[in-house]
Amino acid sequence: MDAAHNPQQPVCAQEALDLLNCLTRSAYDQEKCIALLQSLHECVLSKKGRKFSLAEATGEKADSTTEKQS
């Protein structure tokens, strides 16, 4: 099954993962990473994502950030 059809998939997870992978490549492509950042930004705005967390492999909550937009 495709990750886009997984109801357990966090909001904009694929876009965030793509951006992180772009940033960590040894052959850093700034233009590509900026395009991926823009894609993530648009996804978050369109899906009204507000709360995100980083979880350990065990699934426990490791960090949480809530951003309020004015």
| Burial (0-12, 13-18, 19+ Cβ within 10 Å), 2 | exposed
Q: What is the chain's mean pLDDT, rounded? A: 76
**pTM score, whole prediction:** 0.62
Instruction: Report the amino acid identity of residue 30.
Output: Q
pLDDT in tens, 29-61: 999 999 999 999 999 999 887 777 777 655 544
Identity of the residue numbered 13: A
